[in-house]
Amino acid sequence: MADGHAKPNHDYHLVEPSPWPLIGSISAFVTAVGAIAWMKAMPIFGMAVGPYVFGAGIIGILYTMAAWWTDVVREAESGYHTRVVQLHHRYGMILFIASEVMFFVAWFWAFFDASLFYNEAIQAARVEHTGGVWPPKGVSVFDPWHLPLLNTLILLTSGTTVTWAHHAMLHGDREGVKKGLILTILLGALFTAVQIYEYMHAPFGFKNSIYGATFYLATGFHGFHVFVGTIFLIVCLIRVYAGHFTPKQHLGFEFAAWYWHFVDVVWLFLFAAIYIWGNWGGVIAPH
């Protein structure tokens, strides 16, 4: 193993023994136990410590992510990511995005199932029957051509700025990369701020409405992905200032751009399906 690390005669990277898979698994288990105990108000060893166990697990997961990805960055900067290794990283990222696509398919499925088969959804959810129409009677909805349209324009613009940064990276223009990333991060933060404002002034809640439940799950998880993508881009910007990445080797930044375009595309489907089609014929709430 030592000789394989010191004098490799192949294009594969034999990683050093790492504690992070074990620590990450234990942290995920602790998080699950804490979440169940918290939601079910179950005592652990006779004490109501569910929230604290959950928090400890989350801290462990975040620490594992930071430390593990730091190791990956160190490996990349040490030259271990050969062309073959980079190809396999790309396969991994493609599979990850594919799994994210299926994750959002579930929320779209829930929304369409509730809207197209409304009576069945009402009976399954055991909430008050509100006329068998969609949007439900008594539920005021967002005007899609107000804040949702603004957020659509913001996110589409951020897609152009991250593409600008990517092309600047390919041409060795580090100043262009910095400017493009800074603009993309600011636009991502603005999108999140507008969505928070929208939620604060929403005319419907999460509870007692199948419309509200499906709406908040779909748009809320997308908002979380935008938040994660913004952090992803911030890390890339820090690495650019640290002198990382070259025109031929910048997988971390490339994957951040892929992820950002993914959240762009998901938002377009959300805007068209939930804000426009899903609100069609509903009572528009005042701005």
Residues 133-178: pLDDT tens digits?
A: 788 887 888 999 999 999 999 999 999 999 999 999 999 999 999 9
- Chain segment 45-63, per-residue pLDDT in tens: 788 899 999 999 999 999 9
Q: Tell me: pLDDT of 208 over 60.
A: yes
- Which H or E run includes 61? helix 50-77
pLDDT at 266: 97
pLDDT band at 280 (very low <50, low <70, confident <90, very high): confident
Q: Tell me: pLDDT of 1 over 60.
A: no
pLDDT band at 129 (very low <50, low <70, confident <90, very high): very low
Distance CA 189, CA 227 (A): 8
Q: Tell me: pLDDT of 37 over 80.
A: yes
The Cβ of residue 215 has, within 10 Å, a number of other Cβ atoms equal to: 26
Q: Tell me: pLDDT of 127 over 60.
A: no
| Long-range contacts of the stretch 281-284 (C-beta < 8 A, 24+) | 281/133, 281/135, 282/134, 282/135, 282/139, 282/140, 282/141, 283/135, 283/139, 283/140, 283/141, 284/140, 284/141, 284/142, 284/143
- Chain segment 80-118, per-residue pLDDT in tens: 888 888 899 999 999 999 999 999 999 999 999 888 887
Distance CA 99, CA 104 (A): 9
Bridge partners (DSSP) listed for residue 140:
283
- Chain segment 112-121, per-residue pLDDT in tens: 988 888 766 5
Amino acid at 30: V
Domains within the chain, CATH numbers bracketed:
1-80 (1.10.287.70), 82-284 (1.20.120.80)
Provide mean pLDDT across the span 221-245: 96
- Which H or E run includes 140? strand 140-141
Q: Tell me: pLDDT of 125 over 90.
A: no
